[in-house]
Amino acid sequence: MSNTLRSADAPPKRAYVLGLPFWIYIVIATGAAVLIFQTLIHDQGMANGMTWPVLSFGAFLCLVWFTLFSSYPRRIRWSIFGLCLMAAGAVATAVRVDNVSGNLFLTLAWRWSPRPIERELPPPAPDSLDGANVDLFTTTPADFPQFLGPKRDLNITSVKLDPDWSAHPPAEVWRQPIGAGWSGFVAVNGYAVTMEQRRTEELVTCYHIETGELQWVHATPTRYEHFMGGVGPRSTPTIHQGRVYALGATGKFHCLDGATGRAVWSKDLLKEFGVTGNDEDKLVRYGRSGSPLIVDDVVIVPAGGPRAGARWSLAAFHQDNGALVWKGGDHNISHASPALAVLAGRRQILSVNENWVSGHDLKTGAQLWQFEWPGTTSEDANNSQAVPLPPDRVFVSKGYGAGAKLVRLVAGEEGAIDVEPIYHKPRSMRTKLTNVTIRDGYVYGLSDGILECVELDTGRIVWREGRYSHGQILRVDDLLLVLSEDGELSLVRATPDEPNHVLGTVAAVEGQTWNNLALYGPYLLVRNAREAVCYRLALRE
Q: What is the spatial distance between Cα 41 and Cα 50, in angstroms, rounded to a whole number? A: 13
Higher pLDDT, 526 or 308: 526
pLDDT tens by residue, 335-389: 999 999 999 999 999 999 999 999 999 999 999 999 999 999 888 899 999 999 9
Q: Are residues 92 and 7 in the same domain?
A: yes
Angle formed at CA 192 by CA 189 and CA 196, multiple of 5 degrees? 160
How far apart (Å, rounded) are the C-alpha atoms in residues 387 and 475? 15
- Residues 286-316 have pLDDT tens digits of 999 999 999 999 999 999 999 888 899 999 9
pLDDT in tens, 317-329: 999 999 999 999 9
pLDDT value, residue 416: 87
> Among residues of the chain, what percentage have pLDDT more than 90?
69
Rounded Cα–Cα distance for residues 346 and 416 (Å): 11
Q: What is the mean pLDDT of residues 188-217?
A: 96
**Are 246 and 196 spatial neighbours (Cβ–Cβ below 8 Å)?**
no
Q: Is 263 helix (H, G, I), strand (E, B) or coil?
A: strand
Q: In the prediction, which pLDDT does 131 show?
A: 54
Considering the domain boundaries, does residue 186 fall inside one?
no
Is 469 a domain residue? yes
Residue that finishes a domain, picked among 26, 61, 96: 96
Quote the CA–CA distance of 210 and 156 in Å, as a whole number.
Answer: 20
For residues 73 and 163, membership in a common domain is answered with no
Of 96, 115, 133, which closes a domain? Answer: 96
Looking at the structure, tell me whether residues 452 and 519 fall in a common domain: yes
Give the range of the structural domain holding residue 503, as residue numbers without chain letter: 154-177+427-541
SS3 readout for 472-525: EEEEECCEEEEECCCCEEEEEECCCCCCCCEEEEEECCCCCCCCCCEEECCEEE
**Taking the CB of residue 125, how many other CB atoms lie within 10 A of it?**
8
Would you say residue 426 has pLDDT above 70?
Answer: yes
User: Do residue 437 and residue 534 come from a single domain?
Assistant: yes
Name the residue with higher pLDDT: 105 or 441. 441
Strands (DSSP E) contained in 25-169 are 95-100, 106-110, 155-156
The model carries a pTM of 0.88
User: Do residue 84 and residue 164 come from a single domain?
Assistant: no
Contact 181, 532 (CB under 8 A): no
- Is residue 104 one of the residues assigned to a domain? no
Query: Is 231 domain-assigned?
Result: no
Burial class of residue 88 (count of CB atoms within 10 Å of its CB; 0-12, 13-18, 19+): middle
Check whether residue 165 and residue 88 sit in a common domain: no
Return the pLDDT at 449. 92
5 pLDDT exceeds 50? no
| Domain at 527, CATH number | 2.130.10.10
Last residue of a domain, one of 54, 73, 96: 96
pLDDT, tens only, 255-265: 999 999 999 99
**Each residue of 113-147: pLDDT tens digit?**
776 665 677 777 665 565 568 999 999 999 999 99
**pLDDT score, position 518:** 98
Task: Indicate whether 418 pLDDT > 60.
Answer: yes
Instruction: Of 196, 221, 294, 302, give the one whose Cα is nearest residue 528.
Output: 196
Q: Specify the amino acid at residue 251.
A: G
Host H or E run for residue 325? strand 324-328
User: How many domains in the chain?
Assistant: 2
How far apart CA 381 and CA 336 sit, in angstroms, is 9
Which has more pLDDT, 115 or 535? 535
User: In angstroms, rounded to a whole number, what is the distance separating the alpha carbons of residues 285 and 354?
Assistant: 12
**462-492 residues labelled b (16+ CB within 10 A) or e (exposed):** bbeebebbbbbbbbbeebbbbbbbbbbbbbb
pLDDT tens for each residue of 468-497: 999 999 999 999 999 999 999 999 999 998
